[in-house]
Structure 1
Amino acid sequence: MATHVNDDSSSKQNRVRFGAFDFDLRRQELRRQGHLIRLPAAQLRLLNLFLERPGDLITREQISSHLWNDTGTIDVSSGINTSINRLRGNLSDPLNSAEYIETVIGLGYRFVAEVVPVSAPRAESHEAATPPPTTLDMAPPAPAALHEFAETSAAAQRRSFSHRQRLAVGSLLLLVVAGSVALWRRGRSRPSIVALSATRPSPLFHLRPVTSTAPGEAISAVAVSPDGRSVAFSNRAGVSVHTFGGGDILLPSRPFFQVSRISWFPDGTHLLLSGMDTQTHRHQVWGVRLGEGYLRFFADDADLATVSQDGSSVAYTRQNGMELWVAGAGNDGAHQLLADPRGSFPYLIWSSAGDHLLVDHRAASPGSDSYESIDARNGIVLARESHMVFSSGYLLQDGRLYFPLTESANPAAGQTQLMLVHTDPKTGKALDKPQMQQLFSGYGRALSASLDGKRIALALDYATVNVFVADLRRPGPTLENVRELPHKVEESYPHAWTSDSRAVLSESSALGVWAIFKQPLDAAESQLVAKLPTGAAMAQISPDGRWILFLQFAKSNTPPIGFFRVPVTGGVVSQVPVSTQLEDFVCSVSANGSCVVRETIGNTELVYSALDPLTGVGRELARTPWHPIVLGDWGLSPDGSTLSITDHDVVHPSIHLVSLAGRRAEGPSELPLRGHGTLWGSNWAADGRSLFVECRTKDGFELVNLDLGGKAVVLRKSSVTLWGIPSRDGKKLTFPDRTSSNNVWASDTMQ
């Protein structure tokens, strides 16, 4: 059985790189940025199998035969699921983007990251050295809220923002890296190329949001100051300068002037603003000095102005981008450098010496776009690279050119690759092909950096999940007056209402780990309720309305490690005594109800017991045969008498109603729900007469109201997981759904 990409021990290719990882095939050691990640034997065998066949579909049967010889002693389906999910966890592979392991529903898996062989080290080269750790690392993994179930259930294969399977996708607004391998280059014979940072690795940037725009607003331009201490950006309000560690100042503006590019002068005291007057449709460039209350006119019929690194020259375009011009810092000596009557120059970058320009040249003929280096004195083309374009970017003094490459303009599906190409600092000639250095979620634009390249910023169209609220109208029922609760850009998921039905309890990644927040419907800001070092989630209100109960998680793909309470009025967080390994809990949405905890007994039974906020687990209430479960996939009736249990049966989807100990069963024991895909979970309506059922369809997700007579009404559809939590007064419903934002993101610290 082959377990290595290359079994020839004499081969120089004993190591491979994929994404942010380095794998030693001979030693069977996986490292990330120099840090050893210890994998058990089963995960090592699985990783070797994927690395042998990158990009190929690997069936579950092939995985089974590769991992185990004797399948009669284990649950193969469960074992494969566990191995896949644990390997994904060690690779920090978010389910919503599948940067490494992609699930092919019903068939198997595919390793989607590029696998690059690494040559053995030579005495004169550092190429094979393990990249050193960097301070600009990704955020620590947030807690997961899941109990994996067999992937024969479609519920185990969701690839949207799968909150209930993987509660934290790593604080998504933390934009996890997929291609952060350090790029090392050996010097070549020509002196100008030896200067290309032969031993300098590419940086690893950890981005955080700088702005918090309202829905529908957009960032049109971004520029980091030369010293990296500030970033200027433009939106509907005008141009603002944000100082890292400080606040924002709004610069003076012209009415109806829409800014398309911002460029700093090297002293960091004034900027050039390029854009268009939306009334006259004239392109203009204006200057502004920080601290002054007015703009200075620079040039008419001009756009995309950029200042040279020494501040002596300005390059810009004219005639709708068809002409390339160069002038002095005061627009003195302006002259045309180059023209293409049928094409355009949509982006310009000065070389560090100021003697040539790197130009994105879009030609009229399809497929003729190119990267060009233009002599800034006479317009001679010094170098050209076909089919290499950049809509924005920055150039470092050693010739490294970084630019964003986007896969899709749709922020929900798009990803942005941070690309690197080495150029000759003297001529601008591209010395190699562009290589991806890092992967950001979302659609990135307007990339810029400080002069030393240690701080970057860009505008990022980014889709996330937030809390929505709607009025619940009957008969029907229907959802009316749907609105999104205020948020920044972090993921947020609702799980309960306060007793007065005036606020929603949710967890959010706003603090870097998952924490519990309360969001009043009439307030603009959410209030922190509880935060634990490793993360808190799945908040519920006790039936008496006195306590907020929640779970603690240590890391991805593990059960909860603690059960906690905090007074509704605020105060000290206390741990609820639980002696057994709990899986999940629910509380009724009524003062007359109760709380119930669920435990798993091997793969044989599910045990349901009473739960008290002060004393912990009480007497046993019911047992059911074991079946695949997901955190939060069951509900408790308002009076605490009946459980609604989702079995995730893809053939006969239904909700099982289980009467608890000492309660007399009334009504049906099973509620079938056909035609809505696989059932993922259910919550009771406040009046106890219906259920809000989460369904996974072939097109996405549906939230269905299912009454006890079997009548089903679709309330909402979404591309992300969708469940409904009713308020205690029965008048409102809260649910998660996708939301999009366009903001400035910047690296949070400088190298």
Structure 2
Amino acid sequence: MLPAVRPARLTVTGFQGMPLSDEVRSLYRFGIFELEAYTGELRRNGVKLKLQDQPYQVLLKLLEQAGQTVTREQLRSTLWPADTFVDFETGLNTTIRRLRETLGDSAENPAFIETVPKRGYRFIAPVTPPYSEPESVVDKTGPGRRVRLSTVGAFLILALLSAGFGLRHWSAAASLPARVLEFAQLTSDGQAKQGRLVSDGSRIYFSEILPVGQILAQVSAKGGETTTIPTAVSNPRPADISPDGTELLILSGGSSKDEEAHGSTLWILPVAGGSARPVGNVLATDALWGERAETIVYCNGHNVYVVNRDGSNPRNLLTVSGHVQSLRWSPNRQVLRFTAATRDMGGTSSIWEASSNGAGLREVVPGLSGSAVCCGAWLAGSDDFLFQWTRAGRTDLWELPGNRSILHPSPIRLTAGPMNLSEPTASGAPNEAFVVGSIPRAELVKYVPQEAQLVPYLSGISAEGVEASRDGQWLAYTLFPEGTLWRSNLAGTERVQLSFPPMRAFLPRWSPDGKQIAFMGTTAGDHWTTYMIPAEGGVARQMIPGNDETADATWMPDNKSIVFGPWKGGESRGIKVLDLNTNQVSPLPGATEIWSPRTSPDGRYIAALSQQDSKMMLFDARTQKWEELCAHYTGYPNWSRDSQFLYFQDWNRGSEYPSRVVRIRIPDRKLETERI
């Protein structure tokens, strides 16, 4: 079996080894520029500039040793591991050129970066490093955000260990941009956390992920030891706390696709201890206390309802076209905001609001293709609204200013990495909130059937999308979260980097003859298409003609054509076939509402996913017909080398997390569970 990706536990530390518990002031100043080392943000006269990862790493290295020569070998070790086979000279020269272009600098007449012949480079401009400024500098920088971080873990599909944070900021004048200045860690129990954070100002409540399932936990808003809240409710997750802080609304169960569609049981749990009481027969995907906690507002499907706290007298408050989630009250409880999401392939999410009686429904943050907005919260005593925006594989915090003099205020981005930040919730104190942050890492493992366990593979590198060549001699994979494409032998040596920023690569696929690698790629961050690159290295070229977003290229055994589908965030529909000799594209019969194809090694079948419910489908090339293999919510199909088995992930297991790996025996269509 090919190597897989499993959850990896990490010790969460700040960027460049700085502990998150420190009050981070990682701002370098030089000339009209500022580099925020923690977030990787470069600003010129306060305006953010685009800075790619490798130029950023070089700039930070030069600033850390300002006035000293940084050798090319030092920069090489910073950018590439020791066993990396790459055209180092060209790669570094390109990185230095891009950095100089960003700074408006030149090699001939340098103002910032001086070339030291035959040795390296030196940063020659005066630099004000972090921690060298008096405390008053924070006030002199003008409006901004101070962030206090707390460790609350969260597992994503590639197993992310997350850290939960408290975020403190000072209200900004409308003409000045908001920005994050400081971070502080609040918890350090090392357990993964999931879903919403709920706070009464003195405590933070959340759900932790353990091997036996989810539990309800709490921690002081000032940080400290995490404690468990006992309850007989299975897999509890908090939704809201009553205005007087005595009762929690909790949902039973995880976040499976079945529960997203039909809702989970809603309960009332006393904070001081005692048995949870169900709210009648209510099934909800999210819930909030109504005024004075006599009523409850909850959502399910396309509707928002109001019900008495005992579950009686349910009535519809409003209906929207999307699926409603992430309900939030304004501080005065007169406005209700929520996320409305579409679940079809290429779907988006947007943030809407209505008055407390359901009137005045309007969209406040529109959705964009290839991205998702979600899960906002008003700051206490403020009209400013924080929310998360996921795009190009990362999640950041944004703010929608509460300036009532502007009919449609524009959102302002607050963070830009290296951490994903999400699930903001007000702390109860003025201008303070808590958020969840994650540092993405993966561990590459392989399954050993004889031992029935997963063991690290290639030293457990942080990689994904691994595929072996047909002759079994080579591997292709992408590093996570960097998104660079690599090739190595089965032992992980003879490594060659095939793609470089700004290209992000995903899901490489070997050609049958082992000479080419097809992969999904993007250089713009949100427009994915299919590329092909020589396995020995070279220039990647776009395979599919036109401007459609495409994905999941899979080779036919004759090496003369590929089958591909639409990118999930794009507008294209259906699975198509590209003839590599004529460059002509033709649709696959009956595949208009299907995506994510995988051809079997013998060319007889094509496995794919249905657009609507992500069911596993099978196309028979002989009969030219489709059949449903599995009605579960599935993903990432992969064939055995003899085409007798189809492996895939199954997310239809209630609250169990992560997903299980199953396989279907093709001759008799029998579903079997892989014991991983």
TM-score (norm 2): 0.42
Which of structures 1 and 2 has the bigger CA Rg? Answer: 1
Higher relative contact order (CA 8 A, sep 6+): 1
TM-score (norm 1): 0.38
